[in-house]
Amino acid sequence: MLNFPIKRNFSYAASIFGLLFVWQAASMVYHNYELFPSPVSVFLQLIQLFSYQNYITDVIASLKRVVAGFFLAGIMGVSLGIITGINRRLSYIVKPIIELLRPIPPIAWIPIAILLFGLGDLPAIFLVFLGAFFPIFSNTYLGVTHVDGRYIKAAYSLGATMKEIVLHVLIPSSLPSIFIGLKVGLGVGWMAVIAAEMVGAQSGLGYSIQMNRLLLDINKVVSGMVTIGVIGALLNLLLDEERRKLIPWNHT
């Protein structure tokens, strides 16, 4: 038991080094560093980029938009998911609307987002919201509607009212499912912010990638991609940590 996390961390590290090794080998075989930069050159580029104030500003701009859109989506997705999960009649009204809007990818909303909100933070936040809201809503709804009936029966026969059942049975038993929604939502939101910034912003990692693409600086483009990947993975870890704290009874 005790050495398990060490073993796991070791294999995580080995797996990442393996990926870097294959990348390095592929770039050496391809042998055109202008088109296919090696991990070493990208790493050096990243160190250089992070010494520029501009790049850090871009990273922070993207993060701010993701956090804002994700929080909005989290609050609305979870509360609407719970309310529609409890109230069947409301679900008959809300579900068809959700099912129609959900398949539209956030990117397809970009023209409307820019028309509505202009350029800058707002369209990006709106897109993150759209990307994150649907998985959060759907998983919350699923969690609330799939609560084991025994728990509800048990609660009723212990004297619980509807309010106590919602607070002490429906919500806690849906938490694992809600967290799946939050994780997926954060992932989609992070993708959506990059897409939004490539088109409708003057800052952010997506904007930086787009600019460097126009300047044919592939090294910087790939550095941007690596930054996106690493930050996305870190955000995911952060959510896992929160999950462990909030759901101590269910370690998976």
C-alpha span between 194 and 113 (Å, rounded): 14
Size, binding site for another protein by CB under 8 A:
21
Q: Which is nearer to another protein, 174 or 210 (CB)?
A: 174
Judged by CB under 8 A, does residue 161 bind another protein?
yes
- Closest CB 176 distance from another protein, rounded Å: 9
- Closest CB 158 distance from another protein, rounded Å: 4
Among 13, 75, 154, 162, binds another protein (CB under 8 A): 154
Contacts of 21 (CB under 8 A, 6+ apart): none
Q: Which is nearer to another protein, 57 or 250 (CB)?
A: 250
Among 15, 48, 54, 250, binds another protein (CB under 8 A): 250
Q: What would the x/- binding string for another protein be over residues 175 to 204, using CB under 8 A?
A: x-----------------------------
Q: Letter for the amino acid at 196?
A: A
Q: Residues 127-157, buried b or exposed e (16+ Cβ, 10 A)? A: bbbbbbbbbbbbbbbbbbbebeeeeeeebee
- Closest CB 147 distance from another protein, rounded Å: 11
C-alpha span between 114 and 107 (Å, rounded): 11
C-alpha distances out from residue 233 to 3, 106, 125, Å: 24, 21, 20
C-alpha span between 247 and 73 (Å, rounded): 21
- Residues at the interface with another protein (CB under 8 A): 150-151, 153-161, 164, 168-169, 172-173, 175, 247-250
